[in-house]
Structure 1
Amino acid sequence: MTSSIRKAAADDAGALAELAAVTFPLACPPSASPDDIAAHLANKLSERHFREYLADPDTTILVIDGAGGLRGYSLLVNRPAVDPDVVSALGILPSVELSKCYVHPEHHGLGAAAELMQASLHAAAETGGRGIWLGVNSQNARAIRFYEKSGFRKVGTKSFSLGSTVEHDFVLERALP
């Protein structure tokens, strides 16, 4: 299968929302309720929200474009963190947030995530950032291993609202190339 990584365009918003509906639940802890996951998808990852992200000059969305549609995406936010827990944890400034990094489950284990990560690190470095950070659910061992293999290290914790519940994330950071 041939795929390429490119910057998302405005007409990708619907496909991004469909991909998020498949990939976001996989990152949630087993205790997350379907109602809370659905609320998050509706309130943060809908087609309308992706249109807003794509129109935001401080946001970059990269997509893996493969046969049959989008196979993964990352969302970078190039503005200072505002969460006090994140602000106090970060040691490399200025820092870009890797807000989202997901690959369709049919492409797990095939190197697509590593390619998307490398493209995301390059895109973040192009914005002038010295560091990059992300929040990952503390129970998502697979994602934590991937991020650590990608050069990130735990620097703190933060809370994350998922519908009606509060989840706990690790804050991970690394220097940009």
Structure 2
Amino acid sequence: MISIKKATIKEVTDLALVGKKAFIIPHKDAIPSKIMVNYLNHSFSEKTLLEEITNPNYQYNLIFVDDNLAGFSKIIFNHKNDNITQTNVTKMERLYLLEEYYGLGLGNKLFQHNLHLAKEQNQNGIWLYVWIKNFRALEFYKKVGFKKIAMYDFPISETEKRPNDVLYLKF
């Protein structure tokens, strides 16, 4: 059985583990290990996740398969992007699945859930960054209707950046 629910502070430890595992999959060969460890330890620390989960501007949504956490998303309502003229747009900052759950349509289910939430909040679209070599993600976002609107150098450390596409889906 597949279910989706809003994350609470009770899931922070599991969220941290899933976030680290899911981030490594597409980036493991592209980011030097020391930088990777530092990025993961900061971005997916329980402290960072607890601060974000309790921030009313952020929403984490968890997807479960038979009560097992398979992945999550992070969205931010009303988060402007300089490349988008519309107001009231949602940033989807994460849409992560554990590798063992690939191919089950869970990414699409979680994305559709986020899309529904954004429309409920009277948003005009969803935007995101995706690394230009994350081909699996790029193909997925293209399939659900996103369009590339710009480029962005995503910082993964004080000295390292990775080129990302800025994608936008206007409602």
Q: TM-score, normalised by structure 1?
A: 0.90
Structure 1 residue 28 displacement after superposition:
2.0
Aligned position for 2:163: 168
2: CA distance, partners of 1:170 / 1:155: 8
Supply the RMSD in Å over aligned alpha carbons.
Answer: 1.5
Long gaps (5+) in structure 1: none
Aligned position for 1:53: 52
1:134–1:172 Cα contact (<8 Å) kept? yes
2:149–2:166 Cα contact (<8 Å) kept? yes
2:16 paired with 1:33:
no
Q: Residues 23-172 of structure 1: matches in 2 within 5 Å?
A: 23-28=22-27, 30-67=29-66, 69-81=68-80, 86-87=81-82, 89-163=83-157, 164-172=159-167
Structure 1 residue 139 displacement after superposition:
1.1
Q: Structure 1 160/29 Cα, relative in aligned 2: closer, same or farther at 3 Å?
A: farther
2: CA distance, partners of 1:68 / 1:22: 18
SS in 2 for 1:62: strand
1:29–1:140 Cα contact (<8 Å) kept? no
Deviation >4 Å, runs of 4+: none
1: CA distance, partners of 2:74 / 2:100: 20
SS in 1 for 2:29: coil
Instruction: Give aligned pairs, total.
Output: 170
Aligned residues: percent identity?
Answer: 26
Structure 1 residue 68 displacement after superposition:
5.4
2: CA distance, partners of 1:66 / 1:108: 12
Q: Structure 1 33/68 Cα, relative in aligned 2: closer, same or farther at 3 Å?
A: farther
Aligned position for 2:21: 22
Structure 1 residue 38 displacement after superposition:
1.3
2: CA distance, partners of 1:93 / 1:106: 37
2: CA distance, partners of 1:127 / 1:68: 28
1: CA distance, partners of 2:57 / 2:137: 25
1: CA distance, partners of 2:30 / 2:21: 18
Long gaps (5+) in structure 2: none
Structure 1 residue 142 displacement after superposition:
1.1
